[in-house]
Amino acid sequence: ETGVTQSPTHLIKTRGQQVTLRCSSQSGHNTVSWYQQALGQGPQFIFQYYREEENGRGNFPPRFSGLQFPNYSSELNVNALELDDSALYLCASSDPTSGSTDTQYFGPGTRLTVL
Amino acid sequence: AQSVTQPDIHITVSEGASLELRCNYSYGATPYLFWYVQSPGQGLQLLLKYFSGDTLVQGIKGFEAEFKRSQSSFNLRKPSVHWSDAAEYFCAADGPGDSNYQLIWGAGTKLIIKP
């Protein structure tokens, strides 16, 4: 059973650019959540996808968008990057039907730096 | 508003000493509660979780946590810490019955181990 993987590990962009981050869920998990973790803070919920549909969104602007694919892998897209978008972006997968309700398993994250 | 508070930004303990990390929550009903650990450059690893039932929960790596409804607390404990326990610890909560499994996080407590 493979865990959650994310790519790339690190990324440097400049203000105004667009970025795509990728996540592969743990095998059998149909739900993916994305979090932003700024330095020295706890993660902040961005949004969640369940079976390719957005299933909840945190307090993030529309320039943060996502996709989930039929194999349950996922992308996070951020347009018009701002300096404050510099953070560790974490992906977590879960399977609400497995009996382990609400247990999310995290990938190692993508460190995004916006210059 | 729902919130999770970790009152201690950092804690220093000697190797072999006991540890208690504090977590308080504010929710309308008893939430599901989690403790995660994050080592430098790593993703978040689930230590333990509480959904219902026995208020003393055992986790991995020798950690345990006790849910106290009267104090709205879910403190993490370990009888004897090892140098490898140095990391950042996050408490998180999710409201039961929430449809989108959104985790609300504390700001984290950084654990420093003195030799």
Q: Of A104, A105, A110, A111, which to mutate for an interface test with B (greatest number of B Cβ within 10 Å)?
A: A104
C-alpha to C-alpha distance for A73 and A31, rounded to whole angstroms? 9
Give one word for B62, left, alpha or beta, with left for phi > 0 and alpha for psi -120 to 50.
Answer: left
By C-alpha distance, the chain B residue nearest A92 is B44
When the pLDDT of each residue in chain A is averaged and rounded to a whole number, the result is 90
Classify each residue of B60-77 as buried b or exposed e, where b means 16 or more C-beta atoms within 10 Å of its C-beta: eeebbbbbeeeeebbbbe
CA distance A28 to A71: 9
Instruction: Identify all chain B residues contacting A87, using CB atoms and an 8 Å cutoff.
Output: none
Helix (H, G, I), strand (E, B) or coil at A2: coil
**Average pLDDT score over residue span B81-106:** 83
pLDDT of residue A98: 57
**Average pLDDT of the residues in B24-51:** 88
Around Cβ A33, how many Cβ atoms within 10 Å?
Answer: 28
Q: Is the pLDDT confidence value at A2 over 80? A: no
CA of A110, closest CA in chain B: separation in Å? 9
* Cβ contact B37:B87 at 8 Å: yes
**B44–A106 C-beta distance less than 8 A:** yes
Task: Provide the pLDDT for residue B100.
Answer: 53
pLDDT(A97) > 70: no
pLDDT of A31-62, one tens digit each? 899 999 998 888 998 999 988 899 888 889 99
pLDDT-derived band at A23 (thresholds 50, 70, 90) equals very high
In A, minimum Cα distance to B93 occurs at: A102
What lies within 8 Å, CB to CB, of A14 at 6+ separation is A81, A114, A115
